[in-house]
Amino acid sequence: MNLEGKRINDERGNTYELERELGRGGQGAVYAAKGGKRAIKILFDRSSSRRELLRGQLQDIRRMHELRDLAIASPLEMLQAPHLGYVMELITGMTSIAQLIHPPHDAKSLSEWYLCGGGLRRRLLLLARCAEVLAQIHSKGLVYSDPSPNNIFVSSDLDAHEIRLIDTDNLHYESSSSTRSFYTPGYGAPELVLRKSGVNTLTDAHAFATIAFRTLCLIHPLMGDLVLDGEPELEEKALEGALPWVDDLEDRSNATIHGFPRDIVLSPNLKKLCHRSFSEGLLEPTKRPGISQWVENLYSAADSTIECPDCSSTYYINQKYCPWCNCPRPSLVKLAIKRWEPLAKVEDCNKFLNTQNNLAVLSVTEQQPLILTNRIINGRTGPNSHSPEVELQLEATNVRIRSLNGQCFWLSFLKANKRIFVEIQDSWKRFPASDSSYDCLLHFAPADRPHRVAIFKFISGGHSS
Q: In the chain, count of helices (H) and strands (E)? A: 13, 23
3-state secondary structure 161-183: CCEEECCHHHCEEHHHHHHCCCC
Q: Give the per-residue pLDDT at 154.
A: 93
Distance CA 205, CA 187 (A): 10
Instruction: Please name the residues in contact with 217: beta carbons below 8 A apart, sequence gap of 6 or more.
Output: 259, 260, 262, 265, 266
Answer for the pair 451, 445: CB distance below 8 angstroms, yes or no: yes
∠ CA 248-252-255, rounded to 5°: 85
> Would you say residue 135 has pLDDT above 90?
yes
Arithmetic mean of pLDDT, 389-402: 94
Region of poorest pLDDT, from 58-62, 104-108, 159-163, 178-182: 178-182
Arithmetic mean of pLDDT, 21-31: 78
Task: State the pLDDT confidence band at 65, using cuts at 50, 70 and 90.
Answer: low
Arithmetic mean of pLDDT, 445-457: 93
Distance CA 35, CA 39 (A): 10
Answer for the pair 316, 449: CB distance below 8 angstroms, yes or no: no
CA distances to 18, 125, 287 from 297, rounded to whole Å, are 39, 11, 17
Answer for the pair 18, 5: CB distance below 8 angstroms, yes or no: yes
Residues pairing with 453 in the sheet:
338, 443
Task: State the pLDDT confidence band at 127, using cuts at 50, 70 and 90.
Answer: very high
Distance CA 222, CA 227 (A): 8
Instruction: Please name the residues in contact with 437: beta carbons below 8 A apart, sequence gap of 6 or more.
Output: 336, 455, 457
Residues pairing with 8 in the sheet:
16
Query: Virtual CA dihedral for 352, 356, 359, 364, nearest 10 degrees?
Result: 60
> Would you say residue 11 has pLDDT above 50?
yes
Q: 406-447: per-residue pLDDT in tens? A: 999 999 988 878 889 999 988 999 998 887 777 889 999 999
Q: 375-387: per-residue pLDDT in tens? A: 999 988 877 788 9
Q: Give the per-residue pLDDT at 91.
A: 75
Instruction: Please name the residues in contact with 450: beta carbons below 8 A apart, sequence gap of 6 or more.
Output: 339, 340, 341, 342
Answer for the pair 92, 34: CB distance below 8 angstroms, yes or no: no
Q: Identify the CA nearest to 294 among candidates 138, 67, 96.
A: 138
Higher pLDDT: 43 or 15? It is 15
Q: How many Å from the N-terminal Cα to the C-terminal Cα in the chain?
A: 54
> Would you say residue 155 has pLDDT above 70?
yes
Q: 187-210: per-residue pLDDT in tens? A: 999 999 999 999 999 999 999 999
Whole-model pTM: value is 0.91
User: Parallel, antiparallel, or unpaired: how do β-strands 75-78 and 85-89 relate?
Assistant: antiparallel
∠ CA 241-244-248, rounded to 5°: 135
Q: Give the per-residue pLDDT at 92.
A: 79
> Would you say residue 280 has pLDDT above 80?
yes
Arithmetic mean of pLDDT, 170-183: 68
Domains of the chain: 7-89 (3.30.200.20), 94-218+259-303 (1.10.510.10), 330-459 (2.60.200)
Q: Give the per-residue pLDDT at 126.
A: 97
Query: What secondary structure letter does DSSP report for 142?
Result: E
How many other CB atoms are found less than 10 A from the CB of residue 448? 7
Q: Give the per-residue pLDDT at 465.
A: 59
CA distances to 63, 145, 288 from 142, rounded to whole Å, are 14, 9, 18
Q: Give the per-residue pLDDT at 175.
A: 55
Task: State the pLDDT confidence band at 66, using cuts at 50, 70 and 90.
Answer: low
Distance CA 223, CA 246 (A): 7
> Would you say residue 177 has pLDDT above 50?
no
DSSP 7-62: EEEBTTS-EEEEEEEEEE-SSEEEEEETTSSEEEEEES---HHHHHHHHHHHHHHH
